[in-house]
C-alpha cells in the first residue's frame, strides 16, 4: 500500500504537536514537511518525541508550499491566515487535499464541513475540507439527536482548558490570571455560536469560559423541547443516533473533564429532564486538542483518502 505524504503548516502550536503524534503513528501517513517560523531549521524530533525521523522545521514562502510534494496539507493556523495559502495552491494549479483547522472556511459552501459523525453523508470527494471548531463539535454532538424536537434557542455553557487559547500569550492562557479562576469571554456572537447555528439550522446561544486546567472541554446544553420525553426515550435517541460511532460514548452519568484529557472520543451524559419532560440538560466532554481538532482532522484525512475512518486513531470502549 502506498504512503500518503502530509504537509503541516503551523506545526509549533498545541494542535500541531498532536497532529505530529497521530501522523507519526499512522500506518499510511508520513510527514512531508512541517512549518514554523520560530523553529525554522530545528529538528522535529527534538521537539516531539513521537517523531523519530530526520525532518526539520522549515519556513517556506506561501508560493513554495505547492512545490513540496504533499498529498494532504493541514493548515493549523490562527483564524484569518489560511486564505493566502489556499490562493497559492490555486495559483500553482496544485490540488492536494487541503484541511483547514481554523474557522476561515467553515461558512464556505465550497468546502466540505468535516464533522464525520454528522456530515459524512455529505462527503462526495471534496478536496477542500473545513475542520469544525472544538466547542462546535461538542455542541453539535450534544444537540443533534434532539434536533427535530427543539423549541426555541438552545443555551450552551462551555468551559475549556487554556490550551484552547493557543500559544500566543493572552489573558486566556495566562496561568497566573487563571489560577483559582473562571474567565468568561465572547458571551454573545462567538464564532462557534454562529457555526453551530448554521450547521444545525437552529439558533444556539453559547457562553464560553476558560478554566485553569490545560486541556479538555465541558459543555452543558440546555434544550427546550416541543413534546414531553421520559429519560428512557432520551437515552434511546442518543444511543440509536451514535450506535456504531466509536468516537462518541453515550452514558447515563455526567462525564468528567478530567477523564477526557488525552482521549480521542466525546462523552455525552448527565441527561436530566424537568418535571414536565420538556426541558433537557445534556453534558458533553471532549479533549479540545484531539476530537476537537487533531483527531477529527485525521478522521477527515482517512475519509478523503479512502481509508477506514478510524485508521491511526486509538479506540477505547465506552465505560
Q: Which of 24, 44, 134, 211 is flagged as catalytic?
A: 134
Residue 252, H or E segment: none
Does the annotation mark 305 as catalytic?
no
- Hey, is 186 helix, strand or coil? coil
- Rounded CA-CA distance 155/52 in Å is 45
Radius of gyration of the chain (CA): 20
Report H helices in 93-246: 116-119, 134-143, 175-178, 191-200, 231-241
Q: Is 9 helix (H, G, I), strand (E, B) or coil?
A: strand
Contact predicate 9/65, CB 8 Å = yes
Question: Where does residue 148 rank: exposed (0-12), middle (13-18), buried (19+ CB within 10 A)?
Answer: exposed
Q: Which residues of 90-102 are buried (b: 16+ CB within 10 A; e: fewer)?
A: eeeeeebbbbbbb
SS3 290: helix
Q: Which of 303, 167, 143, 132 is nearest to 234 (CA)?
A: 143
Q: Using CA atoms, how far apart are residues 52 and 49, in angstroms rounded to an integer? A: 7
Q: Give the three cell numbers for residue 123.
A: 462527503
Q: Write out the catalytic residue numbers.
A: 134
Amino acid at each position: 500500500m502506498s504512503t500518503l505524504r502530509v504537509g503541516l503548516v503551523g506545526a509549533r502550536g498545541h494542535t500541531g504537536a498532536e497532529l505530529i503524534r497521530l501522523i507519526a503513528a499512522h500506518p499510511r501517513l508520513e510527514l512531508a514537511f512541517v512549518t514554523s517560523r520560530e523553529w525554522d531549521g530545528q529538528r522535529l524530533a527534538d521537539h516531539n518525541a513521537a517523531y523519530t525521523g530526520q525532518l526539520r522545521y522549515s519556513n517556506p514562502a506561501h508560493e513554495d508550499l505547492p512545490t513540496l510534494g504533499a498529498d494532504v496539507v493541514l493548515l493549523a493556523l490562527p483564524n484569518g491566515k489560511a486564505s493566502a495559502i489556499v490562493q497559492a495552491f490555486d495559483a500553482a494549479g496544485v490540488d492536494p487535499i487541503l484541511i483547514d483547522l481554523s474557522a476561515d472556511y467553515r461558512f464556505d459552501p465550497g468546502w466540505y464541513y468535516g464533522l464525520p459523525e454528522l456530515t459524512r453523508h455529505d462527503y462526495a470527494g471534496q478536496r477542500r475540507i473545513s475542520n469544525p471548531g472544538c466547542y462546535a463539535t461538542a455542541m453539535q454532538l450534544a444537540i443533534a439527536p434532539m434536533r427535530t424536537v427543539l423549541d426555541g434557542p438552545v443555551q450552551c455553557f462551555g468551559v475549556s482548558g487554556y490550551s484552547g487559547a493557543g500559544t500566543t500569550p493572552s489573558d486566556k492562557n495566562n496561568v497566573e490570571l487563571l489560577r483559582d479562576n473562571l474567565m468568561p469571554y465572547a458571551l454573545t456572537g462567538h464564532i462557534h455560536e454562529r457555526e453551530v447555528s448554521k450547521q444545525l439550522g437552529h439558533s444556539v446561544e453559547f457562553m464560553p469560559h476558560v478554566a485553569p486546567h490545560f486541556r479538555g472541554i465541558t459543555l452543558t446544553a440546555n434544550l427546550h423541547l416541543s413534546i414531553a420525553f421520559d429519560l428512557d426515550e432520551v437515552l434511546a435517541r442518543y444511543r440509536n443516533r451514535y450506535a456504531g460511532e466509536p468516537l462518541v460514548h453515550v452514558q447515563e452519568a455526567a462525564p468528567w473533564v478530567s477523564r477526557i484529557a488525552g482521549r480521542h472520543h466525546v462523552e455525552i451524559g448527565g441527561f436530566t429532564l424537568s418535571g414536565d419532560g420538556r426541558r433537557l440538560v445534556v453534558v458533553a466532554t471532549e479533549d479540545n486538542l484531539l476530537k476537537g481538532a487533531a483527531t477529527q482532522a485525521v478522521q477527515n484525512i482517512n475519509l478523503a483518502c479512502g481509508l477506514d475512518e478510524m485508521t491511526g486513531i486509538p479506540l477505547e470502549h465506552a465505560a
